[in-house]
Structure 1
Amino acid sequence: MSPTEAAVPTATAVPPVAEASNGLSKKLHGRAFYESIGSPKHIVAPMVDQSEFHFEAIKEDSGERGETTSTPKETGEQQNGGDSANGTGVGTDNGLRPFLDGNPAIDRPLFVQFCANDADALLSAARRVAPYCDAVDLNLGCPQGIARKGHYGAFLQEEPELIAKLIRTLHENLDVPVTAKIRLLDTPEASLQYARTVLAAGASILTVHGRRREQKGHMTGIADWTMLRYLRENLPKETVLFANGNVLEHGDVERCLAATGFDGVMSAEGLLSNPGLFSPPPPPSVSAPEPESSAPAVADPEYYWHTPDPRREYWTSSRPGSRRGGWRIDAVMRRYLDILHVYCLGEAAPPARKPLFIVGDPVEWLKEEEPGQSKSSGAGGKGADSGEPARKKRKQDNHTNGNGNGSATPAQPIPKEIFNSPNFVAVQAHLFHLLRHAVGKHHDIRDRLARTRKADMAGYERILVMLEKRVGQALLAGEDKAFEAEYEAGADTEVEPEIVDDPNSSAAAIRRCKRPWWVVQPILRPMPAEALAKGAIQLKKKAKAELEKETKEADKNDDTTKEAEAAVVV
């Protein structure tokens, strides 16, 4: 039975809340719960092997505090399978320093997300993490093939009774609230009924991705904020709603809140490319203000936070009237590695580093040989002096040093507990997201990152040195001025135009989000119409027939209109 066919109770018919098992007090629900965690407007989405603690930390290190974060999505079976093997998982009962995820000093509020289709397995898993988080979230929005195969996520939306059972089971038996994330259905009415089902079952907060289940990959397209607005206007005012989709840069956050009327904005891929997405531009001062001394992570000497220097770490457009800017990727990568050193490796402090290069600094270090760079390889690492193809040269390098990272330095053994730590599983993926526009230009950095072993901090540090030099060389060569001149040449007006989301073209979005390659910026997909025109996707027979029918009807209507206009003229 589809959600549109099921008998759905009203959103206010929430099952009673059980007394907390610890006997302290009843758990809060809905807006009361939302206000108790600070009414956050910025939420980091749960992502498989992506929303690890150190990713959440680098996002906060970019200047934003007090957001709500989420763990990577887990299945109920995964959490029931055993305890976390190291300091990244939620919770600890052994009296030692708390794990990173859910640590009250540095990682709260925290929601733990599960995907499931079995209420008992879900409840068992949720009970394991409930003492160490603020809420448990049910994933009803994943559109990927793994969700189809496992029968969870967005592939449960045709089973409203099962969805209601999953949420109600958590609501009635957990000491913490339950939240949920869904996707839109085909019509506003069906989506509203779906939302009411989830809320009536006991969800305290509802996150709505403004796309349908089939909108993924080349078919991603534009999130429908108008349908989100419809939900806001037709659900009770006390309902807490988070919006997801179409947030490419900082200005889109307030634009989304204004368009939808939702309470908060959740972001996933946008934060992977720009961890500072939720943060406003820093003040044009010598350095950003220090965090408040009352903050637990500042008051406790065990915890480290970086204070950024916008003069060196933040790029601002020199174009008159422009509001474009962004953190330099070498600055963000520095902070990312610092967090790995301190939180994941337990070092007292990150390595001492020289200030990032800006024009006017000494340039001798730009000519120094990079760590692990052979004299015959040149700055690009492509074996220019050997007379051999770059690919063959790389194979020889790998064979001679045996460390898999392309450097001449012998591989250093990585302790087993570090190599096996899940803290390092997502590092390479995080860096490829962050450096996407840099590695497209500097293939030697791309190749070095691809060959660096998991948990090889020395290898990551060598990549950072390479990156800092490439950025320094670009600034010294005036590439920022060349970028501004190119941007100016394509400008229609001196004033930034009003933002309009075009479902048929990504050109305007690319233009407003484009930055120099050394500045954080989103990774933009082509619109479905563009992908179809380029042959990247092909319509199925049914879709082709519908499109041809719509085209014929449109042509027929045009002909009718022209005939009517001609008759009036006569």
Structure 2
Amino acid sequence: MAAFAEIQSVPEAQNAPVDVTPQPRKKLLGREFYKSIGSPKYIVAPMVDRSEFAWRMLTRSFMSPEDAKRLLSYSPMYHARLFREQAAVRSQHFQPTRAAAGQNDESLFLDGNPSIDRPLFVQFCANDPEDFLEAARHVVPYCDAVDLNLGCPQGIAKKGNYGAFLQEDWDLIYKLINRLHTELSIPITAKFRIQETKEKTLEYAKMILSAGANIITLHGRRREQKGHATGLADWGYIRYLRDNLPPETVIFANGNNLNHDDLERCLEETGADGVMSAEGNLSDPSIFGKLPPVGSEGREYWRGENGKGGYRLDAVLRRYLDIIYKYVLETPGPERKPLYLPSDPKEEEPEPETTAEEEPEDGPPKKKQKQSKSKNKRPNSPSLGVMQGHLFQLLRPMIGLHTNVRDALARSRPGDMPAFEHVLSLVEKAVKSGLDEYEQFPERFAESPDAQLTGSKATIAQYGRPFWVCQPHIRPLPEEALENGALKLKKNAVKNESKENGSEEKATNAGAENSAAPSADLADASTTPLVSG
């Protein structure tokens, strides 16, 4: 048990950053390049304001030191023009040296540091070859490749003319990739979405490869599939590329990877070289790590009577905060007691202390107070500014039941570590209450063997865990979202439907057949996620 727990702690093999001056290297291409970075099988996806340094380190911490070295990570998506033009944007989002973090020191720091943060690809959205090239030159010494985002489906990408909204302009895409392929000293890669047909997707991929892309990542969803219209990714498209492109083509698969078992299944079904996780990684940063054997769970991992389990939320939050202290703040974290287990000797509960920040779970909300300018000031580390967003996604299973955790998290501010420690203390109490309830009343958590479940309910039954365990967020399928009003037909679609006499039944059947690939006539009635596609 002790041996496994030691492997899973924040790896000591990944020591504090050292000054390793980047050396010029021969530019390798295609599969030769892929082999040179360790032929990574698992990949942390590029995510807007989510795949930053501390989260990459947290993800690696659940892997053995050797496996962690082979994990490929992408940076968050950066805007090429802004990154090129504004030094403040570069230092705010990418800190490879201490100077970029505001220190009077040119030594290597966090992003892309060879001792702790490689291999690393840096992703940009771009629509101008010159902007793309000049932005990329800023990161060349600190990463292994530069990636072009051709998959972002969000409205801001449409407005800015980048991401998936370039896919009709093949000439521009070719110029963007080819310019970097011919003039940049490191490889260029690209990430994109499936097209209307497998044949068109193949032609699209061939064009991207002919422009000079050394690795391609295919997300098995179309541009329209986002928010409540996300539906299911189609791995068949990825398999089609694998079967129809030369074997030396390196392909990464993306989409529908909710837990570790899905990763292996995806690799097998698609034939891809590597598998990428975005939202699955945000819900469970241990997704790439091996599960502890039965009987070796320790205090961090929980396994139920049915054999299903996962890492405890309090354990993951502790790791995350400790990584922030160690690498970002470079200060010792607080001393922590061992995580609670119901089998521990019973201790007398201390008198609860009421803090200014804690509210009773059922009490009225406090009046909103104006925040001082100092509290609203953006911290100088990209890893601090996104902590609250990460924790809302990580703690999603818990905060609906334990609203005091939600409220405390909502009051946290970037860089306010006492506030996040307070959130941790509430999470630990919530986990303790859940573990105790499971020990006393396991029947409350038992699955009904006779339940006939379909759609997202069946998926939740398969992937769901008790609230104190990391688990994927399962969205309703598009037809379910239509039924409950979260997804609506666009006005022109409703108008066309009403014109067709007796077409209601036909439309319903067609909608069911195409549930895994929603049409452009569906409008999401809620906020779309931050994952960039």
Scaled by the length of structure 1, the TM-score of the pair is: 0.77
Give the length in aligned residue pairs: 475
What SS does the aligned partner of 1:236 have? coil
Q: What is the identity, as a one-letter code, of the residue corresponding to 1:89?
A: Q
Map 1:379-394 → 2, pairs under 5 A: 380-383=360-363, 390-391=364-365, 394=366
The 8 Å contact of residues 366 and 472 in structure 1, kept in 2 or not, is answered as no
What SS does the aligned partner of 1:506 have? helix
Are 2:444 and 1:460 aligned? no
Are 2:411 and 1:451 aligned? yes
Change (3 A) 1:92 1:134: farther
Counterpart residue number, 1:517 = 467
Counterpart residue number, 1:50 = 50
Are 2:322 and 1:335 aligned? no
Q: What is the identity, as a one-letter code, of the residue corresponding to 1:42?
A: Y
Counterpart residue number, 1:77 = 81
Are 2:336 and 1:353 aligned? yes
Map 1:191-206 → 2, pairs under 5 A: 191-206=201-216
Are 2:405 and 1:470 aligned? no
Tell me which of the two structures has the higher relative contact order, counting C-alpha pairs closer than 8 angstroms and 6 or more residues apart.
Answer: 2
Scaled by the length of structure 2, the TM-score of the pair is: 0.83
The correspondence for 1:105, drawn from 98, 115, 125, is 115
Query: Partners in 2 of 1:210 and 1:529 — Cα distance?
Result: 19
Query: Partners in 2 of 1:513 and 1:277 — Cα distance?
Result: 13
Change (3 A) 1:346 1:553: closer
Counterpart residue number, 1:498 = none
Map 1:283-298 → 2, pairs under 5 A: 283-284=293-294
Query: Partners in 2 of 1:98 and 1:552 — Cα distance?
Result: 62
Change (3 A) 1:91 1:373: closer
What SS does the aligned partner of 1:538 have? strand
Are 2:73 and 1:63 aligned? no
Q: What is the identity, as a one-letter code, of the residue corresponding to 2:338?
A: P
The 8 Å contact of residues 87 and 99 in structure 1, kept in 2 or not, is answered as no
The 8 Å contact of residues 141 and 183 in structure 1, kept in 2 or not, is answered as yes
Q: What is the identity, as a one-letter code, of the residue corresponding to 1:489?
A: S
Map 1:78-477 → 2, pairs under 5 A: 78-80=82-84, 81-82=86-87, 84-85=90-91, 89-91=95-97, 96-284=106-294, 310-319=297-306, 322=307, 324-347=308-331, 349-364=332-347, 366-370=349-353, 372=355, 380-383=360-363, 390-391=364-365, 394-395=366-367, 419-476=379-436
What SS does the aligned partner of 1:311 have? coil
Cα drift, residue 437 of structure 1: 1.1
Q: What is the identity, as a one-letter code, of the residue corresponding to 1:28?
A: L
Counterpart residue number, 1:8 = none
Counterpart residue number, 2:37 = 37
Cα drift, residue 420 of structure 1: 3.8
Write out per-residue CA displacement over residues 49-80 of structure 1, whole angstroms, 9 at most, x where no aligned residue. 11111111111112251201111100112211
Q: What is the identity, as a one-letter code, of the residue corresponding to 1:432?
A: F
Write out per-residue CA displacement over residues 509-539 of structure 1, whole angstroms, 9 at most, x where no aligned residue. 1111110100000111100010111122222
CA RMSD of aligned residues (A): 2.9
Change (3 A) 1:191 1:372: same
Map 1:506-545 → 2, pairs under 5 A: 506-540=456-490, 543=493, 545=496
Query: Partners in 2 of 1:37 and 1:266 — Cα distance?
Result: 16
The structure with the largest alpha-carbon Rg is 1
Cα drift, residue 371 of structure 1: 6.3
Write out per-residue CA displacement over residues 402-427 of structure 1, whole angstroms, 9 at most, x where no aligned residue. 879xxxxxx9x8797x8343321100
Change (3 A) 1:182 1:331: same
Change (3 A) 1:32 1:448: same
The 8 Å contact of residues 37 and 119 in structure 2, kept in 1 or not, is answered as yes
The 8 Å contact of residues 445 and 466 in structure 2, kept in 1 or not, is answered as no
Cα drift, residue 350 of structure 1: 2.6
Counterpart residue number, 2:521 = none
Query: Partners in 2 of 1:491 and 1:442 — Cα distance?
Result: 30
What SS does the aligned partner of 1:124 have? helix
The 8 Å contact of residues 42 and 274 in structure 2, kept in 1 or not, is answered as yes
Change (3 A) 1:357 1:181: same
Write out per-residue CA displacement over residues 180-206 of structure 1, whole angstroms, 9 at most, x where no aligned residue. 000000101111000001011000100
The 8 Å contact of residues 208 and 228 in structure 1, kept in 2 or not, is answered as yes
Q: What is the identity, as a one-letter code, of the residue corresponding to 1:372?
A: T
Identity over aligned residues, as a percent?
A: 50
Q: What is the identity, as a one-letter code, of the residue corresponding to 1:48?
A: V
Unpaired segments ≥5 residues, structure 1:
1-21, 287-309, 384-389, 405-410, 494-501, 556-570
Q: What is the identity, as a one-letter code, of the residue corresponding to 2:303?
A: T
Unpaired segments ≥5 residues, structure 2:
1-21, 510-533
Cα drift, residue 265 of structure 1: 0.7
What SS does the aligned partner of 2:299 have? helix
Change (3 A) 1:356 1:24: closer
Query: Partners in 1 of 2:294 and 2:49 — Cα distance?
Result: 36
What SS does the aligned partner of 2:147 have? strand
Query: Partners in 1 of 2:289 and 2:480 — Cα distance?
Result: 32
The 8 Å contact of residues 370 and 465 in structure 1, kept in 2 or not, is answered as no
Q: What is the identity, as a one-letter code, of the residue corresponding to 1:514?
A: G
Q: What is the identity, as a one-letter code, of the residue corresponding to 2:301?
A: Y
The 8 Å contact of residues 123 and 148 in structure 2, kept in 1 or not, is answered as yes
